[in-house]
Structure formats: structure tokens, C-alpha cells
Amino acid sequence: MRGRMRPYLPELTIRDYNTYQWYLRGVRRQLYTTYGIYPCYYGLRYNGVLFALLADSLAGRPATCKRMRVPGTLLWQNMMCQTQGIRLAAQVEILLSWHRIQDAQWADLPVGKKVRRVVDTVLLRRAYKKAAAENPALERIFAQERDQANVQMALNAKNYLLAAEPKGNLYGALYSLLATDDPNQRKSMHYIGSCIGRAAYLLDKAESFSRDKDKKRYNIFLVNGIYDRNAARENARRQALAIANDLVRAYGMLDVKLNRTLLDNIMLLGLRHAIEPLDAENQPVRWELP
């Protein structure tokens, strides 16, 4: 489940597709105007577009679409103007990208990727420092998640819930920032983010299973007696789908004021497709009302 949650295109209307593209260009332009050309073209690798959509849609803030120049080109296209949701999404993208680079295991990287990591670190450092200064609360969340993850690895935790808790807490905190001041909405958004974080943790650990096994590093599946990569992937997929079904209950309680059909597409079919790329249309996440 690496990368961002995207819409499921076979079920997406043209109107919602255009809205998504306008937000994507808006977040990219925000990265360019606030943090520079390299962060802009480093790419939207996480859920920045979804963060912006959720923040603006939950608050009922209609973004203004304007025709503006695409950063680094002479091309002019429609894109959403700067909103609170888009600004927050740009900050989250920078911090997620920076910490992902720092968390990578240096010994596992081939020579080419080691060079790329050094380049990314040098060219993203200024943007990271600016984003951390703009939103120090977000940076503290990342530091807490890293410390919690180190504790779980030191303990060789065998409980899946405990092992995934640090990443669940991180994403829970990130998603709760997108909610309005309504405490019920914040609670629901925290739970949604926590579910996404736990599912992402399990799927990422399944992908790194072989490397962790060869390097004799901590892996939640190894400490639970799973020594086959395919078995680890199936276990992660099964648990992630169960987590996604829990997420749907909390998502159904949200009062989404704008872009409801687009967010439904991303949070239901898009999430399922991120977990299980094949047959997402025929086996959608079950909608179970509380």
C-alpha cells in the first residue's frame, strides 16, 4: 500500500475526475510556491490530494478553480487555488517524504538509490525545515511515532495490533487535523487515519519480508512464525481488508459537505484497490452501517 490512495477510475465520473485533477495541480502548485521547484517535482507520493479534499470537504470550503501556469512549464491549466486544506496537504507531503527518506535502511539500497537518497536529502532539507517550523505539532507527531516504533522493535512485539500502533497513531493524528472543531468528527477522522496506518504498516512489512528475513531484522510476520513471503502477503492482505471494513463504518458517519461522490470512490473502491489491486469493482469493501 505504498504511495497515495487514488480514485478507482472505472467507477469515476468525468466531473469527479476533473475535480481530483484540479486538486492535484493545486497541491503541486502549493508545493512549488511555498517550498520550491524540487519539492514540487519530487512528486505527490502520499495522500496529499486526499488530505486536501477531506479538509475542504468536511469544512464545506468550496475551492476556487482558476487557470494558472503549471510550475516549471509554459502550460496553463485549471487548478484549485490555495485553501487551508491545500496548504496543510503540502506540509504533510513534505514531512512524510522527508521522514520516509530518513527511515530507509541504507544497507539495503543499491548504489544508484544511495546516490538518489543523498541528493533528495540535500535538496529537500530546506523545504523540510520550513514545513517543520510552520507546523511544529506535526513534526512532534512524527518524532513520537519513530520513538514508539523503535520500542516495539526492541521488544520484538508479537501482537499485530501493538506492532502497527505507532503508524496507526501517526496517521490517526494526521487525519484528525483535517477535521473541523466538531469532537465527533475528529474522533471519526482519527479512527479512519488509524485504520489506514495499521493497514499500511502490515502491507509494507509484507513487502519487506524477504529483506528483513535475510538481514535478520524485526518483522512482525517472522516473530509470529511465518517464514514464507507469500504467506506473509496473504496474512497482511486478509488483515488489511478487515481493517478497511472497520474504516468504512467510521467513514459512513462523517458529514461530508462537498465532493461526496469523489471521496466515496477513493475511500471505498480506491482503498480496496490499494490493498488488493485485482477485482476491486467486483469485490468492493462492504458498506456496513453501525
125-182 pLDDT, tens digit per residue, is 999 999 999 999 889 988 888 888 888 777 888 999 999 999 999 999 999 999 999 9
* DSSP3 helix / strand / coil % (the chain, rounded to 5): 70, 5, 25
The residue-averaged pLDDT of 222-236 equals 95
Mean pLDDT for the chain?
A: 89
Give the largest Cα separation in the chain, rounded. Answer: 56
Q: Quick check: helix, strand or coil at residue 156?
A: coil
Location of C-alpha cell 490499494:
274
Quote the pLDDT of residue 2. 53
Per-residue cell: 129: 525545515
- Res. 290: pLDDT tops 80: no
* Contacts for 84 with CB less than 8 Å, ≥ 6 apart: 55, 56, 59, 61
Q: Who has greater pLDDT, 44 or 226? A: 226
- Res. 286: pLDDT tops 50: no
Per-residue cell: 271: 482503498
Rg (CA), the chain: 19
- Res. 65: pLDDT tops 90: yes
* Residue among 208, 184, 153 nearest 1 (CA): 208
Quote the pLDDT of residue 279. 47
Quote the pLDDT of residue 282. 47
Q: How many residues does the chain have?
A: 290
185-220 exposure pattern, b = at least 16 Cβ within 10 A, e = fewer: bbebbbbbbbbbbbbbbbbebbebbeebbeeeebbb
For residue 223, which amino acid is it?
V
Whole-angstrom Cα distance, residue 257 to residue 255? 6
For residue 53, which amino acid is it?
L
The residue-averaged pLDDT of 243-261 equals 93
CB 19 within 8 A of CB 262: yes
Q: How confident is the model at residue 273 (pLDDT cuts 50, 70, 90)?
A: confident
* In the chain, % of residues over pLDDT 70: 94
Quote the pLDDT of residue 280. 43
* In the chain, % of residues over pLDDT 90: 71
- Res. 289: pLDDT tops 60: no
- pLDDT digit string (tens) for 3-47? 578 899 999 999 999 999 999 999 999 999 999 999 988 878 888
- Res. 54: pLDDT tops 60: yes
